[in-house]
Amino acid sequence: MAQEMVRTTAVLKVGLWIWATLAVGAGLAAVAPSAAAQDGCKIAVLGDSLSAGYGIDLDEAFPAQLERRLAAQGYDCAVLDASMSGDTSAGGLARLDWLLADRPSHVIVELGGNDGLRALQIEQLEANLDGIVARLRSEGVEVLLAGMLAPPNLGREYGERFAAVFSQVAAQHDVPLYPFFLDGVAAEPALNQPDGIHPTAEGIGVIVERILPTVTAWLDDTLG
């Protein structure tokens, strides 16, 4: 019981940090593939402000830093910024035609944070994420799903069901899951902007470092 209380408290602290606010209205980042990318390796990041580079230079945002780290490890892949600040899972689903027009071979889905902020129904989140992954897979696109936490003020039951959606959708479609996109950065003041929510360039670097093994394993499994 004591261990469970400690774990719950830790999750709540992280959740409070995340859900104090999420910025909206920063606009859609430009999608600009690297000229050096090899054929067959074009990764799009479909997400919200956390991956769109809110408050920092686009060359320090998650897609740009991930592309550089992959290149340093010998993966010649373009990483496209297809994220929009304030986006929900429904918004991501609605933008799939636009995303697919760039013919990505791989997509990292980083959505759900704003669904939780707005206390949207769990069933809606699940249906939207399921629709996104199903559509991408039907088009032959490889998918990596990044998870998120729900606002703790919505209650423990909501939070548990919210978190379970990501693992359920990943399992249903047999795609890899990175459980928590902000792992290593949430609640770390030195790694976040003054709003206490959005990572600094250094914070994005930590996110990239943490997620990189999952991404490279995914690429090794899916690149011919």
pLDDT at 197: 85
Model pTM?
0.84
Q: Residue 56's Cα: distance from chain center in Å?
A: 17
Out of 21-25, 152-156, 194-198, least confident range: 21-25
The confidence score (pLDDT) of residue 151 equals 80
Q: What is the token pair recorded at 195?
A: 């709003």
Q: What pLDDT shows up at residue 28? A: 36
> What is the pLDDT at residue 117?
87
Percent of the chain with pLDDT over 70: 82
How does pLDDT run across 37-96, given as a tens digit for each residue? Answer: 445 699 999 999 999 999 999 999 999 999 999 999 999 999 999 999 999 999 999 999
Instruction: Compute the distance between CA of residue 173 and CA of residue 195 in angstroms, rounded to an integer.
Output: 36
pLDDT at 152: 83
Dihedral, CA of residue 204, residue 209, residue 215 and residue 216, to nearest 10: 140
Choose the catalytic residue: 39, 48, 49, 76. 49
What confidence score (pLDDT) does residue 100 get?
98
- CB neighbours of residue 103 within 10 Å: 11
Q: What does residue 167 show for φ and ψ, rounded to 5 degrees? A: -70, -35
pLDDT in tens, 140-171: 999 999 999 888 888 999 999 999 999 999 99
pLDDT of residue 39: 55
The residues that bridge with 45 in the sheet, in sequence order, are 81, 108
CATH code (residue 6): 3.40.50.1110
pLDDT attached to residue 186: 87
- Supply angle C-alpha 117, 160, 85, rounded to 5: 25
Quick check: is 49 catalytic? yes
What is the residue-averaged pLDDT of the chain?
Answer: 86
Catalytic residue among 59, 81, 198, 221: 198
User: What is the number of domains present in the chain?
Assistant: 1
Q: Which of 83, 183, 195, 220 is catalytic?
A: 195
Examine the pLDDT at 10 and tell me if it is beyond 60: no
DSSP letter string over 15-34? Answer: HHHHHT-------BPP----
Q: Can 198 be counted among the known catalytic residues?
A: yes
173 is catalytic: no
- pLDDT tens-digit profile of 100-126? 999 999 999 999 999 998 999 999 999
Query: Can you give the residue range of the structural domain that contains 56?
Result: 2-222
Does residue 202 surpass a pLDDT of 60?
yes
